[in-house]
Structure 1
Amino acid sequence: MDMYKIGAFISKLRKEQGMTQAEFAEHLSLTHQAVSKWERGESMPDISLLTPITKLLHVTIEELLVGEKKKVVQVAAVEAEANVEQEELPEDEEQVAEAEAENDEESHADEEDSSTKHEIKSILKLAPFLSTETVDEMIEKLENDDISLELIRGLAPFASSAMIGKLVDRASHDQLELEHIARLAPFIESEQLDRLVQKVEDGAIDWSIVQVLAPFLSEETLNRLVERVAEGHIEAHTIVSLAPFLQEDNIKRLVDLAESGTINQDIVARLAPFLPKEMLDRMVRNLLTKLR
């Protein structure tokens, strides 16, 4: 199970129901800090809470655990980050601490930047009790165009997908950090994800970002990436890392390209776990024929 995806799903459904984080927590007789941990992908609800949660959010337990309303489980998941055990912080300070960590490391930041961060930390303190519309409105009033992705990550469970997209656009002139994008991906709209992939295609962002985004990318975007491989604009070995998320037709397309010599034939072995048995049998027979 992908805790980040499930957390973002809970956050999305809660906002669709018009509940603040605090109101949602109250319905479950919990603290808003506990719900905040779920929505940030730091923990999972206790099994005894699954039924009450699904009743509040109008989804099935299966959909909740998959993290989407479609009843299709991803073939594989991309690891978002290393599992690093973090020191337990007081519950009412956890969200603020993440934003403060960056501020501590930049002790010589200019006064305008410090003021902006202070405003965002104030939002983080209040966000569990505010509506999505109010959080968006407060963020919109921030004038500084250089908001760090670390701070955006803290706001993701409370702001709308459209607003998160705007903030990512404003921050993406810097090299995007893998850890932050991994945590933000479930909150970002598909159009925004496609724009990030386009930055990768243009060479502005490292390919590792695409690997993290793969479970959330549209079929059209994945099709385009395979087409770019066929055209010679993307190295074939890079697309292999996306194999668990590619449609069978695209896997076959890559194999055909390898067999025709258009791309390196070595990738066929790496694609083998995702190929239909009949296709593997045909390939082996062809190889045996060439050996005679």
Structure 2
Amino acid sequence: MFDMAKVGKNIMQLRKRQGITQMGLADRLGISYQAVSNWERGETMPDISKLPQIADIFSVSIDEILDEGKGTQLLKNMLDHTTKDYLQHNEVSLEEISEIAPLLRAEQVDEVVENVKDKFEISDFMSIAPFVSEETIDKIAMQFFYKEGFNALVTMAPFISEEMMDECAKRTFDKEGFNALVTMAPFISEETMDECAKRTFDKEGFNALVTMVPFISEETIDECAKITFEKEGLNALVTMARFISEETIDECAKRAFEKEGAKALVSIAPFVSEEVMDECARKAFLL
């Protein structure tokens, strides 16, 4: 990363050497004097588009402004619109790219990354991910998904679009099943998690959802609970009872009581509301 304090000091020294005020420099660059002041205090960096103008005003090279950081040569080629040629003939590290990335627009970072993305591991991209467009991140993610699988994307997950995450999740689910989504579940949409949960429920039953419950909607859990109750009875809900809404538990408990009496509630009692338990107790007493 460029040392903003050093860059700011260089600009200040060059400005003073030529007897130009902060306001004068700002006017010539078409910006506010506060922007120049922020540069010189090392709080911000000049936009890449301003560097050639600053160099021209002070009659110096961009190197003298940026203090020959690792990414300076790459930055100069970008300004000269010779990026592709430079990248074809020179090895560029992600350290160099990450150094200049804060100065660039997303599409400019994309141009560099597009030319070097096949040379690095997925973990290496974290240093530049905040500066790359979502579209490019998604392309890189899909590339590594095919090479290394869904869990390889975990370090990049916060930067990948929800659409891409869902697509990879569905493909992984089709091949490996619901539990293969555990690591990435926090980044998958609830809609997709519900879809996979319902398909898993249809094939493997209610208890197969237990490891993924925190990421499944209450509506889906309740829907599966009601179907399970109809097919297997109240006892089949015990393992998942703490994840089922009280409303659904109470509804199933009442129906079980009507059919089988108080004994049907024994296993599920800790999860039934006090109100329903009292109601069933009164009815049992009257009987």
TM-score by length of 2: 0.50
Residues 122/177 of structure 1: CA separation in 2 closer, same or farther (3 Å cut): farther
Task: Quote the residue 2:108 is aligned against.
Answer: 134
Task: Quote the residue 2:164 is aligned against.
Answer: 192
Structure having the higher helix fraction is 2
Partner SS state of residue 199, structure 2: helix
Whether contact under 8 Å (2:226, 2:252) holds in the other structure is no
In the aligned structure 1, how far is the partner of 2:174 from the partner of 2:227? Answer: 23
Q: Structure 1 vs Structure 2: percent identity of aligned residues?
A: 22
Task: Quote the residue 1:250 is aligned against.
Answer: 220
Residues 255/143 of structure 1: CA separation in 2 closer, same or farther (3 Å cut): closer
Residues 274-289 of structure 1 aligned to structure 2 (within 5 Å):
274-288=243-257, 289=259
- Greater relative contact order (Cα 8 A, min sep 6): structure 1 or 2? 1
Moved over 4 A (4+): 29-32, 234-238, 286-289
Partner SS state of residue 183, structure 1: coil
CA shift digits 1:5-61 (9 cap, x unpaired): xxxxxxxxxxxxxxxxxx9xx69x8878xxxxxxxxxxxxxxxxxxxxxxxxxxxxx
**Corresponding letter in the other structure for 2:194:** N
Whether contact under 8 Å (2:134, 2:161) holds in the other structure is yes
Point out the structure with max Rg over C-alpha.
2
* Matched residues, number: 179
Residues 207/242 of structure 1: CA separation in 2 closer, same or farther (3 Å cut): closer
Q: Provide structure 1 residue ranges, at least 5 long, that are not aligned to the other structure.
A: 1-22, 33-114
Whether contact under 8 Å (1:199, 1:205) holds in the other structure is no
Residues 214/253 of structure 1: CA separation in 2 closer, same or farther (3 Å cut): same
Partner SS state of residue 130, structure 2: coil
**Corresponding letter in the other structure for 1:255:** A
In the aligned structure 2, how far is the partner of 1:154 from the partner of 1:206? Answer: 31
Task: Quote the residue 2:143 is aligned against.
Answer: 170
**Corresponding letter in the other structure for 2:251:** R
Whether contact under 8 Å (1:251, 1:275) holds in the other structure is yes
**Corresponding letter in the other structure for 2:217:** Q
In the aligned structure 2, how far is the partner of 1:177 from the partner of 1:245? Answer: 17
CA shift digits 1:110-149 (9 cap, x unpaired): xxxxx87x533321232233221111111112263x6422
In the aligned structure 2, how far is the partner of 1:235 from the partner of 1:287? Answer: 20
TM-score by length of 1: 0.49
Say if 2:88 is the partner of 1:122.
Answer: no
In the aligned structure 1, how far is the partner of 2:222 from the partner of 2:42? Answer: 50
In the aligned structure 1, how far is the partner of 2:177 from the partner of 2:103? Answer: 36
Once the 2 structures are TM-superposed, how far is the Cα of residue 220 of structure 1 from its aligned partner? Answer: 3.1
Once the 2 structures are TM-superposed, how far is the Cα of residue 157 of structure 1 from its aligned partner? Answer: 1.2
Residues 160/270 of structure 1: CA separation in 2 closer, same or farther (3 Å cut): farther
Once the 2 structures are TM-superposed, how far is the Cα of residue 150 of structure 1 from its aligned partner? Answer: 0.7
**Corresponding letter in the other structure for 1:138:** V
Once the 2 structures are TM-superposed, how far is the Cα of residue 270 of structure 1 from its aligned partner? Answer: 4.7
Whether contact under 8 Å (1:147, 1:167) holds in the other structure is no
- CA-atom RMSD, angstroms? 3.7
CA shift digits 1:192-243 (9 cap, x unpaired): 01121122212258834x23433333343133213312442x6754533333
